[in-house]
Amino acid sequence: MPRTGRRPGPARTRERILGAARTQFGREGYDKATLREIAAGAGVDPALIPHYFGSKEGVFLAAVEFPVDPALFIPRLLEPGVEGLGERLVTFFLETWDSPAGSSLLALIRSVVSSDLAAELLREFVTREVLGRLAVAIQLDQPQLRASLVATQLVGLAMLRYVIKVEALKSASREELAGWIGPSIQRYLTEPVV
């Protein structure tokens, strides 16, 4: 980094902290990552982090903020109607993971598995922002269970394709995977309860 003799502006500092936090949470998981290391990665004084984000939890929430906004993508996926929703959801999910945003999702999954706190944080977020919206939109019975079943299939897909990197899934196309997995998701969302 060039030394200009000037401090970076606040927006730039914030971004640098978040970038370092993503790296650190991704590499170490939530519990082992420290504000000191994050500050070192960002090249800033550790005291600045609480100033911007309050706490390690605050940095985490900011750093893993979903790369996509559920308030936007859920209505968009639902817009063509319920038919084909399963396949559209899988395709959208894979497009997001295959985009640059995928690296923050990977960091998120690592943190969630290594830390009960991170799991708790994500659960709160997903329940409120994602499942809640789906539940309202679809207006079916057992909306929480249905949305959670959808999540099992999508999270598992991410685990095997992007974390464990199973060859058969890594080399499959998004269309192929949507064709296989879409109908499961569709069934979780719309099949009447037996």
Q: Which is nearer to a copy of itself, 21 or 178 (CB)?
A: 178
Residue closest to 192 by CA, chosen among 142, 131, 128, 118: 142
User: What is the Cα–Cα distance from 107 to 30, expressed in whole angstroms?
Assistant: 9
Closest separation in Å from C-beta 154 to a copy of itself = 7
Name the amino acid, one letter, at 40.
A
Residue 122 sits in the site that holds a copy of itself (CB under 8 A): yes
Closest separation in Å from C-beta 179 to a copy of itself = 6
The residues in 26-45 that bind a copy of itself, with binding defined as CB under 8 A, are 29
Residue 94 sits in the site that holds a copy of itself (CB under 8 A): no
Residue with tokens 């019975």: 141
Check if the beta carbon of residue 51 is closer than 8 Å to that of residue 42.
no
Residue 155 sits in the site that holds a copy of itself (CB under 8 A): yes
Residue closest to 105 by CA, chosen among 153, 149, 159: 159
Question: In this structure, what token pair is assigned to residue 125?
Answer: 């977020």
Q: Which residues bind a copy of itself (CB under 8 A)?
A: 29, 109-110, 112-114, 119, 122-123, 126-127, 142, 144-145, 147-149, 151-157, 159-161, 163-169, 172, 179-181, 183-184, 187-188, 194
